[in-house]
Structure formats: structure tokens, C-alpha cells
Chain A
Amino acid sequence: MSLNINKDLVLHISKLARIKISDEEVSEYEKNFKSIVEYIEQLKEVDTSKTEMLSNPMTLNLGYYENALGVSRKQREDKIETSLNVKEVVKNAPDSKNNEFRIQSVIENS
């Protein structure tokens, strides 16, 4: 296998994903990742040098309804609509004050 999955890589990924994992979990994820990535590696045998990416079927569907049905995809009219009021938005926040989200300190205390 070309890729070396080790503890450092798992820890690096967990940092990027903002998910804290314990030492035990690191070994478990390392094992899982090894077998999953090994399985995914089989994709490398497919020649895609002449193939375009398909990231969302919508891009191919557009042709269907624009050509076959004559329906064009228009952008929504740019008109002002009322949105949710602030009280409702912060209602689900774990911590809020004066209708604002309250977070923990970002700058260290000196």
C-alpha cells in the first residue's frame, strides 16, 4: 500500500475535523482506516484519464429538463423576505446573552 496510515496521521485528521479522540480511539480508528483505505485503493486500477468528474447528478440532469422539457432553471427573484427573528434563532443556542451567541474565550488570559 502506498499510504502509510499511522497514529500521527489519525491525530492530525482528528485535529482538522475538530473531533477530540482518546488514545484508545486512536488505535481503533487507525485499524478501521487501514482496512477502509486499503479497500478504497482499488479505485486506482481504474483509468480515468479521459473522464470528467461527476460531483452532483444535477449537472447532468440540467440537460434533461432544459432540452427535453424546455424548462429552464431560473435563479430566484432577488426580493426581500422576512427571515427568522433573532429570538427564535438563538432559542436553541447552548449559551446566549442579549440575543447573541456566547462562546468561550478565544484569546488567552495574560
Chain B
Amino acid sequence: MSDFNTIYDSHLALKDKKISATELCNEYLKVAKENPNNTFITLTEDYALNKAQEIDKSGIKNHLDGIPFSLKDLFITKNIRTTAGSKMLYNYIPPYEGTTSSNLQNAGAVLVGKVGCDEFGMGSSNENTPFGPVNLPLNKDYLPGGSSGASAVSVLEKSSLFSIGTDTGGSVRLPANFCGLFGYKPTYGRVSRYGQIAYASSLDQASPFARTPLDIAIIMDAMTKNDEKDSTQAPIGAMSSTSKILNNKDKSLSLVIGIDRSMIENCREDVRENLNQSIKELEKNGVKFKDITLPHLKYSVAVYYVIATSEASSNLARFDGVHFGFSSTEGHDLENSYALSRSLGFHEEVKRRVLLGTFCLSSGYSDEYYSHACKVRRLIYDDFQKAFNECDYVYSPVCATTSFKKDELMTPLQMYMNDLYTIPVNLAGLPSMALPYGSSSLNSLPTGFQLIGNSFKDEELILDSHKIFEVLK
């Protein structure tokens, strides 16, 4: 096995011809084929090897040339099965290509396969899927978190050098935190959503997992090209954060970071200890922490479950058993066959959310629930804007605990509370980096924190995360 495990180091090795793209690809494919943690739904072995051979012929130019990666199975890939982790799309072969996949492959990255997730991105455990739960490689009794858990695991088990998940309410930052990786949720509108199977369109953003902020920068630069096919994307051109990091000479951390200490007080003791330690370390390196209050954040989970389920009920209406996807032949007329196809094609959590969203939008209730939730969403946004008048970033836990065990029983509401600290970021459309820091004194599993920036401060946030990583590692 090669002794480099970041995109950047692998790129240098490829460029110096210490390893060929085909050799590198074979190393990662070997793990992907063994699939020790039930990470992969569809393997694209021949496809990957062809691409790697092409790159060996044409030579290494871009940072992503010859870099093996995986995609959450929520990203459309032309002629490659895309299931959304659902029985509904078990045999779906997309006739078109999504932007996330095309951007990364055009930049030279080699697709190893499509990895699992909670069905349609709905869940925080990677258990809500007919393809079965994914193991946390660090301790197989535990889960990697979700919904993009398998993406995180593919990086950790070395079947990919990076992976792209989707973050609607924390679905990338939570598994990154549970797995000890970096997970980056961009500003809403920084990346295209074309060809990303929709869960909640005003919250969903494609988001990368990697081992360093520099790797995150390399991925984000490739993912932020203007895309005419998504009118919610800001037409402001691709980022150039890689060169900003590589050319950066200023190592000082003269930042003001806002903190609402009640958030830390509410974390489990082992997580709290490490968060406090990270704050001390950052202060030692020049960061100034400023106490702030974010009074409406406590409503985030309630707001999220109105808005996300409402949008889901609308987005998932397209699965009708007629145009594509699972179809039940039991219904004897059209109405019945819709209801049966959706009942048998969707798993429990998806049905629960579609039903809840249908309720929130139904006649007589939509003003009371949906419209009101959108107003509280605005107050959450305003809380952050007030904070950013006084500080560069907001510091927050990612989760109050470390990863949880496979057999831990939770009610739906308890499960939803895992996303308490990640959801506000999606509601306000802000960028946020989940950074790993330390491990738990209780179970040795990874812990970490997130830094939240203001809208479109993506390049600054990635550069500062790089500087912080340099002093904390």
C-alpha cells in the first residue's frame, strides 16, 4: 500500500511517477471490491481502470488527475446505476449526467463506485436503507452517522481518496465528525444541484469529505464552475482556494470567533472536554473568542422538520411507478397503483417524512406550519448575521455525542436531535467546515467541532481551516 493518503500527496507521487494512475486505482479498487464495511452499492471497476489508463497515457496535469473517488448514490451518473439507497430506484440507470459527477470527472478524478446512504438522504445513521447499515471501520459495533455515512467510510477504509456526499441538515458534517475527517458544507448556491436527487431543495448542497482542508480546496475548486442548469447556483465562477492555500505565507490566526457557550455546556462530558481543549489551543495560537448569543437556534430542529419534510413531499411526488423506478403490479387502477408503488418502494423513514410534509402543506395547516416555520427560519438567519457583525466565524459543536452503537434504539424525534447543531447552518444557507479534533475519553472515537462562516466566505473559511489544521495537528 502506498504511504500517502491525501489527494495532494498522491498528486505529487503521480506527477513524480512514483506510482501510475492505474496502480493507484488498483490499490483503492482492491479495498472497494472487498467492501469490508458494506460501503458500496455499485462498483465501477472497468470504468475506473479505463479512465486511469487514459490518464497514464495523457499525463498528470490537474490536481485531481488519476485520483480515485466515490459518489454518494444520490448523484446521477450517466449509464451507471443510481439508487438513492432506495428500493424505489433499485434498477434505475440514468440517461443523463449530473453536474457534480461531470465536474469531478472532467477534472481528472477516477470514479471507483457509488456508495450507500440513508434512503434519499433521510437519516443520521446510514441504517435507513434496504442495502443494509455501513460499519464504522474504527469500531464495527458503531455506525458512521448519516446520511452520507458510506462516503465518509470510503475515505476512512481507503477505497477512495475523497468522496462527495450531500448535506441537507448535517448529512456530511455529522459522519465526518464521527469518522475523524474533514467535511465541508458550501454556501447554499455555491455548487450546482443539477443531477443531485432532491430531498429538500432549499437546503441540499453537494459536500465533500477529505483528510485535509487542502484536499477540500482541490475538490471545491473543481465543483464550483458556473452551471446554467441550476438557477439557484450563484453565477460567480469557480473558486481558486487551492492556490490561495499553496501560496499562503501568513500563518497567523488573527481571527475573532464567536461562541455561544451554552451549546458546549449541552454536550456529553467527553465531547465537552475536547471542545474546551480545542478552544484553549486556538486561543494559544492567537484566536480571540467572543461570546455571542443565537437566541432562535433552539427552534432549528422544529423549523427543519417542517421545511425539509414539506419540500420532500413535493420532490418525491415524482416517484409514481410510471415513468421510472419501482412499480407495483397489484393495483388494479391508476390511483391504486400509485399508492401501492409508493408504499412498497419507499422505506419507513421516507414515508414518515413525506406524510409529515404532506400534512404541513395541506389545506388548513400550511399557514400555521410551513409559512410560520419559514419566518422563524428568517430569524435564525438574522441571528447569524448579527453575530457576523462582531466576528469572522461562529464556533459550534457538530454533535453532542460521538458515534452511536448499531443497536441503540431511538425514536424518530431522538434521531432528529442528532442534527441539532448542524441544521441551523443549512437553514441560513451558510458555509461550514467540520474539523476533527481529538478522541473521546469514553470510547476513543473521534470528536471535533465546526466553524461556520458568512455566505460566500467559502475561500476564506477553507484557508483558515487549513491554518487551524496546521496548528492543531
* Partner-B contacts on A (CB < 8 A): 9-10, 13-21, 29, 32-33, 35-37, 39-40, 42-44, 46, 48, 51-58, 60-61, 64-65, 69, 71, 73-74, 76, 84, 88-89, 91-95, 101, 103-106, 108
Contacts and interface: CB of A to CB of B under 8 A. Distances in A.
Nearest to B228: A76
Interface centre among A21, A51, A69, A84 (most CB of B within 10 A): A51
Nearest to A69: B236
Given A39-B413, A94-B325, A94-B327, A55 B455 contact: no
A86 to B, nearest CB: 11
Interface of B: 91-93, 95-96, 187-189, 201-202, 228, 231-232, 234-236, 296, 299, 301-303, 305-306, 313, 317, 320-327, 331-340, 342-343, 346, 351-352, 354-356, 358-359, 362, 369, 371-379, 381, 411-413, 428-429, 455-456
Contacts of B201: 56
Contacts of A44: 372
A33 B413 CA distance: 10
B351 A103 contact: no
A32 B374 contact: no
A57 B456 contact: no
Given A10-B355, A71-B236, 7 more contacts: A14-B355, A19-B346, A32-B352, A36-B412, A48-B376, A103-B337, A106-B334
Contacts of A51: 375-376, 378-379
A92 B325 contact: yes
A106 B333 contact: yes
A87 B376 CA distance: 46
Given A51-B379, A84-B96, A65 B235 contact: yes
A73 B201 CA distance: 19
Contact of A18 (B234, B338, B356, B412): B338
A89 B93 CA distance: 10
Among A21, A52, A58, A74, chain B packs the most CB atoms within 10 A around the CB of A58
Given A46-B299, A54-B381, A61-B187, A93 B322 contact: yes
A19 B351 contact: yes
Contacts of B303: 43
Of all A-B residue pairs in the complex, the 4 with the closest CB atoms, nearest first, are A57-B429, A94-B327, A48-B375, A92-B324
- Secondary structure of the A side of the interface? loop
B455 A64 contact: yes
9 contacts: A17-B342, A18-B320, A19-B355, A20-B342, A29-B352, A57-B428, A103-B322, A104-B337, A105-B333
Contacts of A101: 322-323
Contact of B234 (A17, A65, A89): A65
A108 B355 CA distance: 28
A53 B448 CA distance: 33
Nearest to B430: A57
Given A16-B358, A58-B188, A84-B95, A104 B379 contact: no
A89 B95 CA distance: 7
Contacts of A60: 381, 429, 455
A63 to B, nearest CB: 10
A36 B317 CA distance: 22
A70 to B, nearest CB: 10
A46 B218 CA distance: 42
B343 A19 contact: yes
Nearest to A74: B235
A95 B322 CA distance: 7
A18 B346 CA distance: 12
B306 A54 contact: no
A58 B232 contact: yes
A43 B299 contact: yes
Contact of B322 (A13, A20, A61, A94): A94
A71 B374 CA distance: 27
A69 B332 CA distance: 57
Contacts of A36: 305, 356, 412-413
A71 B188 contact: no
A55 B358 contact: no
Contacts of A58: 188-189, 202, 232, 234, 429
Nearest to A66: B234
